[in-house]
Amino acid sequence: MFQQWAADNGYAVLEINEESHLIDNSKFCVTIKDAKKISPTYPLRFRFRNCEICYQDFDITLGGFGYRCMTCRKFAEDVKQNK
Ligand SMILES: [Zn+2]
């Protein structure tokens, strides 16, 4: 399913990191919605993601969680602590 998506989006070969098992989709950052459409079972396999809160593209290997970038993740944690 990833390969079909890759072909549709202009990737000749879809690189998957052997260690992290993340898809190196550097040309096309995905939103959580896109990811679930492309792969309902593995929406967290994409390395380059679009934050669900601030809509900035980010690299999950540098920080963040799920489809939240580092900044928004921190914000979510702050909100939780204030409850
Ligand atoms: Zn964000």
Query: pLDDT tens-digit profile of 6-46?
Result: 778 776 666 788 888 899 898 889 999 999 998 899 999 99
Q: Where are the domains of the chain?
A: 2-82
Predicted confidence (pLDDT) at residue 83 exceeds the cutoff of 60 = no
Separation of 44 CA from ligand 1 center, angstroms?
A: 16
Cross-strand bridge partners of residue 30: 49
CB neighbours of residue 43 within 10 Å: 19
Residue range 54-80: mean pLDDT, rounded: 90
Q: Structure pTM?
A: 0.77
In angstroms, the CA 61 to CA 11 distance is 21
Residue 52 burial class via C-beta count within 10 angstroms: exposed 0-12, middle 13-18, buried 19 and up: middle
The reported pLDDT for the residue numbered 74 is: 86
Distance 71 CA to ligand 1 centre (A): 6
Closest listed residue to residue 27, CA positions, set 38, 13, 37, 40 = 13
